[in-house]
Amino acid sequence: MRVISGVSRGRKLKAVPGSHTRPTTDKVKEAIFSRIGPYFSGGIVLDLFAGTGALGIEAISRGMDRGVFIDINPKSIEVIKENINAVSQTNQAEIYRNDAKRALKVCAKRELKFDLVFLDPPYKLEVTEEILQHMDSLSLFEKEAIVVVEHDAVHTYNENIGKLQSARRVVYGDTAVTFYDYVSE
């Protein structure tokens, strides 16, 4: 695993030991960023269920100002911290070990709004739509935000979730990626 492009291009990232996380492959990561970027001129990225933090790190490397990384797994948090240090993004990253819903409430209290959101929960949890509706109700999306959901290819999400509208769904083997655009009033 490595950072594909931007200021941290080529830097290697550690994986979380064990089989509880499935890192996004370089092929899928490149396809995601080709669709949403490939580069950014600022903004805040949320990497929820962050695992290794690779997607948020890639977004910062490609021009996001800062990132918020959230995961409940202590091993993931350790790896995210190591990866953030390896790419010299410590001043641009906030890392939280917490339940997703609780962490999102904290983000709302801090009045954070995200330009880009990566959501890659364990496939068996099936909480994605609930989490996205929760984020919408907490007003956590910046105007014209982009949400990228990585999920099991056998599952299809609703076209509209709150103010999010599905823009595209792409399948890569047993993994699918659904892109949503935030449509504010």
Q: Is the pLDDT of residue 75 over 70?
A: yes
In tens, the pLDDT along 110-155 reads 999 999 999 988 877 789 999 999 999 999 999 999 999 999 899 8
pLDDT band per the 50, 70, 90 thresholds, residue 92: very high
Find the helix packing angle between 26-36 and 54-61, rounded to 10°: 50
CATH domain 26-124+131-153+166-182 topology: Rossmann fold (3.40.50)
Q: What is the C-alpha separation between 50 and 55, in angstroms, rounded?
A: 8
Q: What is the C-alpha separation between 140 and 82, in angstroms, rounded?
A: 27
Question: Where are the domains positioned within the chain?
Answer: 26-124+131-153+166-182
Burial 55-79 (b: 16+ CB within 10 A, else e): bbbbbbbbebebbbbbbebeebbeb
Its pTM stands at 0.94
Residue 53 contacts residue 31 (beta carbons within 8 Å) = no
pLDDT band per the 50, 70, 90 thresholds, residue 184: confident
